[in-house]
Amino acid sequence: MKSRRTKPGGFNLVEALVATMILSGAVLTLGAIGTNALSGTRLHRHYEVAAALIDKQLSLIDYLGIDQFIQMGQMEGIVEELEPGYQWSVTTEYQDVDNLYLVGITVSWLEGARPYRVTAQTMLDGTGAVTDTSTSTSTETGEQPSL
């Protein structure tokens, strides 16, 4: 009687190597996608911080009034409290129309060795929200103010 030789079950070495290569390629692809997503998120966070700094500076200028801001002479600065360190600068240009100024604010920073910059421009009038508080009103004593 002849004995039948049956093939042993399982995978041979070539099949195992091919499966390992496919799996490692998939893992590397997922890792690259995750790394790109994280670096994109970090860059967007820096843009949001720069926009917040521009908004803060514009609010200060609007509160003081552009004329008083220019007289103060603080047209640029560095914000070291926030990483990676932001620099801001303000440019103003009088427009000869209704006391309007063109105000430009630029915030820049370095990410690695690559510089980034966000710039915003707006028009502001020369007056601010700060008023002279040295005069007292007579309503504190219960008297009616005179017109």
* pLDDT value of position 115: 93
Reduced 3-state DSSP string for the chain: CCCCCCCCCCCCHHHHHHHHHHHHHHHHHHHHHHHHHHHHHHHHHHHHHHHHHHHHHHHHHHHHCHHHHHHHCCCEEEECCCCCCEEEEEEEEECCCCCEEEEEEEEEEEECCEEEEEEEEEEEECCCCCCCCCCCCHHHHCCCCCC
Mean pLDDT of the chain: 81
11-67 residue pLDDT tens: 788 888 999 999 999 999 999 998 888 878 888 899 999 999 999 998 888 888 888
Confidence band of 128 (pLDDT split at 50, 70, 90): low
